[in-house]
Amino acid sequence: MARRLMLVLLLALAIPGAGLRGTLLPRQAAPPPDAAAPVDRSAPLPAARSPRNANYSIDVRLDPGARALIGHEDITWRNTSAHPTSKLCFHLYYNAWKHAQTTWMREARLRGRSRARSVRAGDWGWTSVTSVRLLRPNAEAVELADRRFASPDDGNEADETVMEVLLPDVVPPGESIRIGLDWNARIPRTFSRTGAVGSYYFLAQWFPKLAVLEDAGWNCHQFHAGTEFYADYGVYQVRMTVPSSWVVGATGLERGRTDNPDGTTTHAYHADDVHDFAWTTSPDYLVRTARFEHPTLPAVEMRLLLQPEHAGQADRHFDATRTALRFYGEWFGAYPYGHLTVVDPAWQSGAGGMEYPTLFTAGTRWLAPRDVMDPEGVTIHEAGHQFWYAMVGNNEFEDAWLDEGLNTFSTGRAIEANPAYRVNYQSSRYFGGFVPWVFRDIPVSREVDENGLSAYRASAESDAPSTPSFRYFPSTGGGLSYSKTALWLHTLERHLGWPALQRAMSAFFERWKFRHPKPQDFFDAVNESSGRDMTWFFDQVHRSSTVFDYGVQSVMSETLPPAGSRATKGSAPVKRSTVVVRRYGEAVFPVEVLVTFEGGETVREAWDGKDRWKAFTYERAMRVVSAVVDPDRVLLLDIDRTNNSFTTEPRSREAARKWMLKWMVWLQDALATSSFFI
């Protein structure tokens, strides 16, 4: 203990400016680990699912009139890193919407988010910490007055989303401290899914929250417009006081309810082994309940908080949640909490489609056609985040793809696996976005639509996914984190086979649930489970921004003159056909080439895809009529599928004529509409 203390003191003296604004404990300057055998302090506690090293007891009162929260929290925190620390690092997420010059607001404008441009004076929100105390057993609490805002990511001094608190003593590895905070917050009009509109409140990232201390130091990023969160697991005991008639839903389970003389009610919630706590309250919610049951998976009580205008859609929400719990549970591992709250957010609350531990927001519309998978798609996705995010707790600031990508892939697979969701069409909305129209000629496909191929194509070369997610160009993060990952996982599914990938994802899940995995942990799981070294693939899809694009350059046939030994009396003339395939992109993947001859005979060729081009030549009685690179569409990352095939009898003119005729009717109607003005 004394040795560790000495090391930290020496470290503090040795690093000029340590602890100043914008400076975190330098990773390279961390003292060496103990000489003793390594201890995995981030392992789950005995009889617990998680390490439970960040435990919160929070009392919070909602003042709807002032749109404010008044809170007090006690945090019991244990240092699970290998090094002592002399400071704590808190996220104050609400300060992202304190004014227009925060990092979140700057990035949101860069991203082109309209919300960042339409802020009114009353929309802003913030958190103000009024007191931070070190709570010591059998001793007076010590006010920790040495607090400052830090901006480790971009040096933006106007950003106050990270607060550092210096401690009077170091906290050695494995040791715990208790901290008491008093704070109040102005609830913003909804930004980034948290806030209020009318009497609808969705409160996420609403309390001062500890960052994660890793062996390399505090991993504490500012709040960015394109990324989400990272926190340690713990036990949350939260008592929320709201107007008495209002419905409350929250992470965890309600353990008690007390009516207060002032017309308010205090709802006491408890949640074990979670890394965040979100809650919602509104006088308007309808409450519906249902149960998920499965022969081999634990039952889950589902509680749905529904907007009255969506009363008829309760079953759609429950069925979608069941779909996620079933398939994710069968494929990856069981959902262990036994309860799950589904929140149907209010219209234009902006809170839709977001995950929190044991609670998520879905999102639907008043007019929601049955043959369009909305709200099903978003419900499955957010329920699926209970597995990829809530249980496998990756760092969403740095490796957003680990939960968003795995979950997008899993969502598409779950939709495909549920026969009830086979009827799923594309749709558009008209008249202010209120009136839906279903295109029953255009089914939603998993390969293209669920994986988000268009979004990937738009951002394919924007950043390498290994770049920390918060450093992605703000508007292209989605295309990389969600779509590219889903596409390369789906490619792996087709390349390795689903059993191999399922084993890998299941192994990754089991190994890293209630812990914080890094990208290499996933790659290791795939390599180990599949028994194949796929590093060459991960180098391309994760550590590079190169694109895959294979195609057929040409198909040529010529009739050979009947000469030499080739000529036999009465035999058909021999035709020499040459198929040239080409790698247009920089990335490499082994592909097959399907060659079809007159009469329907086919030949499959294997190509390692490494060279820039390859020619296949055939001398047969029949000429080649078509060729397709990657005919089974294994390589879903191929950014131009059209050039993958070539036929000597193209129907492009026929297709073009048909679509010209349809387009002309649209144009004539548009012209007729314009003639209103004459």
Binding test (CB under 8 A) with other proteins, winner from 176, 258, 348, 520: 348
Is residue 27 part of the contact set for other proteins (CB under 8 A)? no
Give the residue carrying structure tokens 């979004």. 455
Rg of the chain in Å (alpha carbons): 29
The residue within the footprint of other proteins, chosen from 7, 458, 534, 580 (CB under 8 A), is 458
The answer to whether 432 contacts other proteins (rule: CB under 8 A) is yes
Q: Looking at 26, 289, 611, 663, which residue binds other proteins (CB under 8 A)?
A: 663
Residue where the block lists tokens 């255009």: 442
* Least Å from the CB of residue 327 to other proteins: 24
With CB under 8 A as the contact rule, the residue among 179, 392, 628, 634 that binds other proteins is 628
The C-alpha angle with vertex 531 and arms to 529 and 537, in degrees rounded to 5, equals: 90
Q: Which is nearer to other proteins, 141 or 616 (CB)?
A: 616
| DSSP labels, 35-104 | SSPP--TTSPPTTSSS---EEEEEEEEEETTTTEEEEEEEEEEE--SSS-EEEEEEE-GGGGGSSTTSHH
Closer residue to other proteins, CB minimum distance, 589 or 646: 646
Residues 36-65 vs other proteins: string with x where CB under 8 A? ------------------------------
Quote the least distance from Cβ 284 to other proteins, whole Å: 7
Establish if 534 lies at the interface with other proteins (CB under 8 A): no
Determine the residue type at 262: D
State yes or no: residue 486 binds other proteins (CB under 8 A): no
Quote the least distance from Cβ 455 to other proteins, whole Å.
Answer: 10
DSSP string, 342-369: EE-PPTT-S--SEEETTEEE----SS--
Instruction: Work out whether strand 54-63 and strand 234-243 pair parallel, antiparallel, or are unpaired.
Output: parallel
- One of 439, 559, 590, 608 touching other proteins (CB under 8 A): 439
State which of residues 169, 182, 284, 528 lies at the interface with other proteins (CB under 8 A).
284
Give the span between the Cα atoms of 35 and 602, in whole angstroms: 65
Q: Residues in the chain, how many?
A: 678
Q: Which is nearer to other proteins, 33 or 198 (CB)?
A: 198
The three-state (H, E, C) secondary structure of 382-428, written as one string: HHHCCCECCCECCCCCCCHHHHHHHHHHHHHHHHHHCHHHCCCEEEE
- Told to check if 558 binds other proteins by CB under 8 A, we report no
Helix pair angle (485-496, 400-417), 10° resolution: 60
What minimum distance in Å lies between the beta carbon of 491 and other proteins? 15
Decide: is 312 part of the binding site for other proteins (CB under 8 A): no
For position 347 contacting other proteins by CB under 8 A, the verdict is yes
Q: Which stretch in 45-53, 163-171, 540-548, 654-662 sits in contact with other proteins by CB under 8 A?
A: 654-662
Q: How far is the CB of 285 from other proteins (least distance, A)?
A: 11
Residue 440 CB, nearest approach to other proteins (Å): 7
Q: How far apart are CA 606 and CA 647, in angstroms?
A: 19
Stretch that binds other proteins, among 76-84, 440-448, 580-588, 613-621 (CB under 8 A): 440-448
Q: Report how far apart, in Å, the C-alpha atoms of 289 and of each of 32, 88, 342, 364 are.
A: 52, 40, 10, 18
Q: How far is the CB of 309 from other proteins (least distance, A)?
A: 5
Burial string for 104-120 (b: 16+ CB within 10 Å, else e) reads bbbbbbebebebbeebe
Nearer to other proteins, 92 or 116 (CB): 116
Please identify, using beta-carbon distances, which residue of 498 and 663 lies nearer to other proteins. Answer: 663
Nearer to other proteins, 302 or 552 (CB): 552
Return the number of other C-beta atoms located less than 10 Å from residue 96's C-beta. 29
Q: Which stretch binds other proteins (CB under 8 A): 403-411, 513-521, 576-584, 653-661?
A: 653-661
Helix axes 376-384 and 314-331, enclosed angle (nearest 10):
40
Distance (Å, whole) CA 609 – CA 349: 49
Minimum distance, C-beta of residue 437 to other proteins, in the bound complex (Å): 5
Binding mask 365-394 for other proteins (x = CB under 8 A): xx----------------------------
DSSP at 515 = B
Euclidean distance between CA atoms 298 and 336, whole angstroms: 7
536 binds other proteins (CB under 8 A): no
One-letter amino acid of 72: H
Residues 145-204 that bind other proteins (CB under 8 A): 197-200
**b/e burial code for range 61-83 (CB count within 10 A of at least 16 → b):** bbeeeebebbbbbbbbbbbbbbb
Is the Cβ of residue 48 or residue 368 nearer to other proteins in the bound state?
A: 368
Distance CA 576, CA 623 (A): 7
Using rule CB under 8 A, residue 676 touches other proteins: yes
Q: Cβ closer to other proteins: 514 or 548?
A: 548
Residue among 502 and 643 whose Cβ is closer to other proteins: 643
Q: How far is the CB of 280 from other proteins (least distance, A)?
A: 12
Q: Which of 659, 534, 646 has the alpha carbon at shortest distance from 589?
A: 534
Choice between 382 and 450, CB closer to other proteins? 450
100 binds other proteins (CB under 8 A): no
User: In terms of C-beta density within 10 A (0-12 exposed, 13-18 middle, 19 or more buried), how is residue 592 classed?
Assistant: middle
- Which of 6, 9, 435, 567 contacts other proteins by CB under 8 A? 435
User: Of residues 3, 27, 370, 440, which one binds other proteins by CB under 8 A?
Assistant: 440
Asked if 114 touches other proteins (CB under 8 A), the answer is no
The site for other proteins, by CB under 8 A, has a size of 75
The site string for other proteins over 608-627 (x = CB under 8 A, - otherwise) reads ------------------x-
Of the ranges 10-18, 70-78, 105-113, 441-449, which one interacts with other proteins (CB under 8 A)? 441-449
Cα–Cα–Cα angle for 310, 311, 312, rounded to 5 degrees: 90
**Binder to other proteins among 428, 520, 559, 617 (CB under 8 A)?**
428
Candidate segments 32-40, 239-247, 540-548, 639-647, binder of other proteins by CB under 8 A: 639-647
Query: Would you say 304 or 406 has its CB closer to other proteins?
Result: 304
End-to-end Cα separation, the chain, in angstroms: 89
Tokens 């979608």, residue located: 320
Task: Give, as ranges, the residues between 199 and 218 that touch other proteins (CB under 8 A).
Answer: 199-200
